[in-house]
Amino acid sequence: MIAGSEMAVVDANAAALGVPRKQLMESSGNATARVARTLVDEGDSITIVAGRGNNGGDAFVAARFLEGFDVDVLLLGRAETIGTEIARENWAALEPADCRREEIRDSSGVDLGDPDLIVDAMLGTGVTGSLREPEATAAAAINDSDATVLSVDVPSGFNAESGTYPDDAVQADHVVTFHETKPGLPDLDVPVTVADIGIPEAASEFVERGDLLRLSRDPDSHKGDHGEVLVIGGGPYVGAPALAGQAALRAGADLVRVACPTAVAHEVQGYSEDLIVRPVEGREFEPGHVGQVMEFAAEHDTLVIGPGLGDSESTLEAAEAILTAFTGTAVVDADALELVPDIETEATLICTPHQGELAKMGGPSAEDWRERRDAVEEFAAELGHTLLVKGNRDIVSDGDRTRVNRTGNPGMTVGGTGDILAGTTGALAARQEPIHAAGLAAYVAGRAGDIVAEQHGDGLIASDLLEATPAAMQYDE
């Protein structure tokens, strides 16, 4: 089962891995034609009702594979308004095919004739809201017709995100859907064929460019909507919390506060005027600070705890108390990691160990990345938290879903890149579920490192990654 928006991610990842959408469309159209053939007899007539998106594009391909039948293709709108290049190319490719094509200008022009089979390719996963014209009139005409109705991907008007099926949507007799079934389709009382369209397994296993599409889904946001992050760190070290805080800002958080001991507060502030510093009295965190820190924490969407904390007994005791009492989402890094296996908490934790830290947590080790992937998944399930295990291939798992990231380069073994990753994860966790926040953060930090390495090679330093982070978050085709 895959929701429409997740399908868009996987489909873009397939393109990033070298299987372009046009190839997927060819497979979808071919699969549609194969199912259509099982629903008609020799010499039967077929009317294809196509919209201007890629759902329509699938049906233009299907029409090519249905030569020999009596096929009419009705396009809802003018050909110039077809929304994507690949759908337009497949419309043009119908020119030499043996079928009739018609552009329907408005709802008064909707005439389906009296076909044996209607292929409903008006709208797929791109539908938003209730049907507009001329789709609404066309859907009513399809529902009035005696023909068998085969819907492409989903019945037009059906919402592939929520599985809701409005009354005015097309009532399908059969659905051919692609890659995996969609939410709600199994509940329809009609046969659903799931067609393999050649999307490689790697498109869902690896975090790739398409995953960046997850970041661009909230156009109506306000200040604060992109997250307020509290970094809890510093004491023995000064740079680490400053790097984590700045990374959270570069990864899109609206406000980042750093809680750190007064001994380092001025220095942390000195690294960046964009950070808000919330000092606690002393040279390092200790149990007496917990109440104050919990008050700060309550005002934030996510915590990042660990960068530069050090590992003194009283600091770890304080960190343990904070993690135990906290009920929100926290990224746990560095010395705080070893506390996690023994902590009982309602908090949602995203732990970002390298392999040495994972071992200290009692986690598995394996040379081969596939073995490591499986072992990390098992360990995450045992912990009940999300793991982002850093390495040549980063493994991200919530115990149920597991992803692998391949961005990054050997120059990134330099100190401080872990703080950048933790801060980036904190910012993204304010907007995404933990598995996606962790996967995207690994991808973005690695890509930022790759951008910087082009200029600095192995001489890159962690703070270089800050400025490259926004570019690393950009989705480009």
Minimum CB separation of residue 212 from ligand LP7C6HRI in Å reads: 16
Minimum CB separation of residue 127 from K ion in Å reads: 9
Minimum CB separation of residue 20 from ligand LP7C6HRI in Å reads: 10
Name residues whose C-beta falls within 8 Å of residue 148's C-beta, 6 or more positions apart in sequence: 39, 40, 116, 117, 118, 173, 174
In the chain, the amino acid numbered 99 is: C
Of residues 151 and 315, the one with the C-beta less far from K ion: 151
DSSP codes joined into one string, 157-189: T--TTT----TTS---SEEEEESS--TTGGGSS
User: CB under 5 to 8 A by kind: which of K ion, ligand LP7C6HRI, none does 463 bind?
Assistant: none
H, E, C per residue of 431-455: CCCHHHHHHHHHHHHHHHHHHHHHH
Pairing of strands 386-389, 329-332: unpaired
Residues that bind ligand LP7C6HRI (CB under 6 A): 7-8, 11, 21, 24-25, 28, 51-56, 58, 83-84, 123-132, 135, 152-153, 178
H or E stretch covering 313: helix 313-325
SS3 73: strand
Of residues 132 and 370, the one with the C-beta less far from ligand LP7C6HRI: 132
Minimum CB separation of residue 109 from ligand LP7C6HRI in Å reads: 16
In the chain, the amino acid numbered 71 is: V
Return the residue of 13, 28, 148, 151 that touches K ion, per CB under 5 A: 151
User: CB under 5 to 8 A by kind: which of K ion, ligand LP7C6HRI, none does 83 bind?
Assistant: ligand LP7C6HRI
Would you give the distance in Å from CA 34 to the centre of its chain? 31
> How many whole angstroms separate alpha carbon 284 and alpha carbon 328?
24
Return the residue of 75, 152, 318, 383 that touches K ion, per CB under 5 A: 152
> How many whole angstroms separate alpha carbon 125 and alpha carbon 5?
8
User: CB under 5 to 8 A by kind: which of ligand LP7C6HRI, K ion, none does 109 bind?
Assistant: none
Minimum CB separation of residue 315 from ligand LP7C6HRI in Å reads: 49
Q: Which residue numbers belong to the known binding site for K(+)? A: 55, 120, 156
Return the residue of 156, 204, 417, 432 that touches K ion, per CB under 5 A: 156
Residues near K ion (CB under 5 A) are 55, 120, 151-152, 156
